[in-house]
């Protein structure tokens, strides 16, 4: 699993405008991050809660459907959450103009 | 405000893959919809809840930041939730090929 995680980090890192990447496991602990530790833990906690809520919304509307991706656009950046089997990835991107 | 809403409906209704549009007021009551009623109310309640959580999370991470859009990609479609000043818009889209 960690080889997969490393490869993904490299892949996203090479894209322009990426402000940060956090890989968070199912316990809400950031296992890999390009941000500093306190901020990573903060993102891990808030994003995990939100991801769970979003998953439940999707399941509630249609039990056969599943959440595959979540994107939040804020004033200053775009946050992308990709849930996988054992972990989820948060990518924070600065929108280009 | 209702002229603005009509205009939004018209604008989004013209896209080919849009499966439904719901305009919901600040109290999570759907004021305009192109989908059938029970489903609309269901979407409105869940989306409102998720939007509130997402908004709170964004401000938790950075007090000056604000959520401007939320996109949920699922297996079968994509749901976009956009908060405006007095209402919010939910667009359900089938992904194009």
Overall average pLDDT of the B3-8 stretch: 81
Q: CATH homologous superfamily for A2-93?
A: Dynein light chain 2a, cytoplasmic (3.30.450.30)
B38 and A CB contact within 8 Å: no
The number of domains in chain B is: 1
Identify the pLDDT of residue B83: 93
Return the structure tokens found at A2.
């960690």
Identify the pLDDT of residue A25: 92
CB A18 within 8 A of CB A90: no
CATH number, position B72: 3.30.450.30
CB A66 within 8 A of CB A84: no
Domain boundaries defined on chain A: 2-93
Does A74 contact B65 at a Cβ distance shorter than 8 Å? yes
Identify the pLDDT of residue B12: 78
pTM for the structure as a whole = 0.87
ipTM above 0.85, yes or no: no
pLDDT one-digit tens code per residue, A29-40: 999 898 999 999
Nearest CA in chain A to B73: A69
Among A residues 38-67, those touching chain B with beta carbons less than 8 Å apart: 42-43, 46-47, 49-50, 53-54, 57-58, 60-62, 64-67
Q: How far is B48 from chain A (nearest CA, A)?
A: 10
B88 and A CB contact within 8 Å: no
A36 and B CB contact within 8 Å: no
- H-only helix segments in chain A: 2-13, 37-61
CA B57 centroid distance within chain:
18
Which among B66, B67, B72 has CB closest to A54? B72
Residues 6+ apart with CB under 8 A from A80: A69, A70, A71, A72, A89, A90, A91, A92, A93
pLDDT one-digit tens code per residue, B41-92: 999 999 999 999 999 999 999 999 999 999 999 998 899 999 998 899 999 9
Nearest CA in chain A to B41: A61
Residue A72 has pLDDT above 90, yes or no: yes
Chain B residues in contact with A64 by the CB 8 A cut-off are 75-76
Return the structure tokens found at B27.
């109290």
> Concatenated DSSP letters for B8-43?
HHHHHHTSTTEEEEEEEETTS-EEEESS-HHHHHHH
The range of the structural domain enclosing residue B71 comes to 2-93
Does A72 contact B54 at a Cβ distance shorter than 8 Å? yes
């Amino acid at each position: 699993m960690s080889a997969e995680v490393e490869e993904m980090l490299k892949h996203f890192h090479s894209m322009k405008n990426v402000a940060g990447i956090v890989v968070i496991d199912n316990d809400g602990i950031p296992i890999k991050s390009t941000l500093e530790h306190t901020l990573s833990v903060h993102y891990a906690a808030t994003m995990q809660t939100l991801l769970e809520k979003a998953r439940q919304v999707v399941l509630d509307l249609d039990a056969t459907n599943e959440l595959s991706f979540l994107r939040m656009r804020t004033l200053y950046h775009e946050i992308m959450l990709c849930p996988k089997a054992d972990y989820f990835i948060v990518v924070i991107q600065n929108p280009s103009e | 405000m209702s002229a603005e809403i009509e205009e939004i409906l018209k604008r989004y209704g013209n896209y080919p893959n849009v499966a439904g549009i719901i305009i919901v007021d600040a109290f999570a009551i759907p004021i305009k919809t192109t989908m059938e009623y029970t489903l609309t109310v269901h979407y409105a309640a869940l989306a409102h809840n998720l939007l509130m959580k997402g908004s709170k999370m964004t401000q938790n991470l950075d007090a000056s930041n604000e959520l401007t859009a939320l996109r949920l990609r699922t297996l079968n479609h994509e749901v976009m939730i956009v908060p405006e000043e007095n209402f919010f818009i939910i667009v359900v889209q089938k992904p194009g090929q």
